[in-house]
Amino acid sequence: MENSQIIRIENLVKRFPMGKGEFTALNGIKLSLGQGEFAGLIGPSGSGKTTLLNIIGSLDVPSEGSVTVLGRSIGALSTGEAARLRKENLGFIFQSYNLFAVHTVYENIEFPLLLLKYPATERKRMVTDALEWVGLTDKIKSKPPQLSGGECQRVAIARAMVKKPSLVLADEPTANLDAANSHNILKTMVNLNRELKTSFLFATHDDKVISYLRRKIFLLDGRVDNDIIISN
């Protein structure tokens, strides 16, 4: 399944100003990710997981080194180009869902397609497909406050997946869910990864998530400590 590289990172260093000095969050990261991978950045708080996810998601830029995502060098992108990369190719799943509370499930999932200016009939078909993937066709008119946490995260997954992005970045997606819901969500994502060939990259320290990963990238103090690929 995993073939062409969609992420290539060479000697990535990320420093943040701290007081009069600097704090090095990432220090010499070298990494690549192929299409269709189901991988996770694993490590304790402060290990650099979210910082690395930010840079891959074109939300931040490297201090040194190069990060290439889908053939585009993150450090060289303008803010508009970075926004376009996120809009067209990346999906985001957040720990606290971050759905639009006043919009229905349908409208939340439709939003990325509106940004991409898909025609209405196409949007309807794609949203319906996404709802089927996550098993929420009966909640189409519900609004986030009427849903459980698990259902909300499934809507967030559908929103991230509806445009069939090449890469989904998920930051602690199960942190607010109980065990049963966490497993349901993870199974859904595994299925989508298999069916749509979408790459998933998690930032997590949750054992439940880790147990589903097929590649485990351990970070420690801003460095790749271990990189384990689980064979099928």
User: Interface with other proteins by CB under 8 A: which residues?
Assistant: 50, 53-54, 57, 59-60, 79-80, 82-88, 90, 92, 94-96, 98, 100-103, 107, 110-112, 114-115, 171-172
**Smallest separation, CB 221 to other proteins (Å):** 19
- By C-beta, is 92 or 214 nearer to other proteins? 92
Count Cα atoms within 13 angstroms, Cβ side, for 101: 3
Q: Report which secondary-structure segment, H or E, holds 174.
A: none
**Smallest separation, CB 82 to other proteins (Å):** 8
Unique residue bearing structure tokens 């990963």: 213
CA distance 135 to 120: 22
- By C-beta, is 102 or 228 nearer to other proteins? 102
Residue 223 amino acid letter:
R
Phi and psi (nearest 5°) for 69?
-120, 120
Beta pairing, strands 21-34 & 215-220? unpaired
- By C-beta, is 66 or 95 nearer to other proteins? 95
- By C-beta, is 23 or 100 nearer to other proteins? 100
**Smallest separation, CB 112 to other proteins (Å):** 6
**Smallest separation, CB 219 to other proteins (Å):** 15
**Smallest separation, CB 107 to other proteins (Å):** 6
Nearest CA to 148 out of 183, 177, 118 is that of 177
- By C-beta, is 2 or 107 nearer to other proteins? 107
CA-CA distances (angstroms) from residue 84 to 88, 89, 91, 103, 198? 6, 8, 12, 24, 18
DSSP 231: P
